Structure 1
Amino acid sequence: MPVPSQRYVRNQLLSILGGDDYGAIQAVAESVMLGRRDILIAGKKTITHVYFLEAGIASEIAATPEGRRIEVCITGREGMVGVPLLLDVDRTPHETFVQIEGEALRIDAASFRTLIEERPNLRRTFANYAYVAHLQTAGTALSNGSHTLEERLARWLLMCHDRVDGDEFPVTHEFLSTMLGVRRPGVTTAIHSLEGGGMIKARRSHIQVLDREKLKTAAGDSYGVPEIEYGRLIRTGR
């Protein structure tokens, strides 16, 4: 697939770049489809590419040696996968895989390093995003330790809703239990609670957001800090 002109690019980081900077990215990028469960970054292995998602959602996962897994960050069309390369780090213990299928513009690691070395405006924009991603990870840790499961689930659903077109997206109870680091029955109870409040509708491995404002109320102060900082630092299209 051809790489789109900047006028049609959907990734929000790329859409705000100067024309020359986007042109430099366009010259070395390729457009790729992302299938569900595709591995974008393998834990403890050399990072080969940076991905700027055009559609879909990727999950960054931390794991223990015993195999316990929990999601620490999600990325959609607002950002990029491969932040360690921006920080001159070539690998990470975390794995990043595709949670919701989509597409992305992909740049190999060597070309990406050349771009950010030669173009300070690119590095600055991407560094702003790296800061926001750090806040999201910190917010996840705070939420896991300080908020109820219902609040955490509402936060997670809002974050996904921010990154997809429309109000419905695929997700299973089993997947949510892994992402939130809790047992499946607890996820089921929390989903029923949000559904009973008229905030969401759960059906056939999909969840539909019915009332975003009620969902934000349910999330309380677990949601919003990274989103505010993103709006302050990076012009958003949503």
Structure 2
Amino acid sequence: ADGTLHWGVKQSFRAYVTGPVAKGTITASDGATQASGNGAFTFADATGTYDTEAGTLKAAFKGAVTFKGHEHDGAYSLDLTLSDLRVNLTKGKGTLTADVDDLGETSQDIVLADLSAPSAALTVKDDVITLDKVTATLTEAGAKAFGGFYAAGAELDPVNLAVALTKGAELPAGSGGSDGSGSGTGTDGGPDASGSTTGGVGSTIGGDLGGSLASTGSDVPVGALGAAAGAAVAAGAGVVLALRRRRSTAE
């Protein structure tokens, strides 16, 4: 009869979009909301079906979230919208799918992540089924949807969902947290400390290669690493050329 899905997509991705490299914005719309401090998203008004004996749950959630970054002359190189999120679980295993709009081109029913719940059972309490800390792992299709920012198999933010089986059932308060963190490994940058999700200072992903690569590892967006690494190589080449010129002059 109703339900909510709390999911941050991926904390490092949110930080990258609003950080000093992409200098972008994140917008929740069509009924979706975002927690303060560049936090996780809530998608609401669930509809679907369930079977507690078979352990199956299918739920669709309203709302959309748009990530924009790398603006130049009014156009964005990064313009990604996720909408029509759906969860399909059988005995604790399943998928998270969404419609994906990338730079104006829409693809429907993309399986973004494989899901694994802590329990295979669907437990009903006060006419509500609650599933917290459902592990979400990026699929090959999901990796393509994110433009190769992360490789397939990367761990996304955990999924927390609750569905009401009757109209009078009361859904629990959001348990997704203010930043949707808790899934990544190492340090992948924090949310914007100012609480803004528009052009915040966010993370230094790609901007502080020297001190952060060892700790961020695979959790850093691959696209950000490519751009930053290219800049580092170019800068290194400039230093070598400058040194050669100095030596020639001295000789």
Check whether TM > 0.5. Answer: no
Larger proportion of helix: 1
Larger proportion of strand: 2
Larger Rg: 2
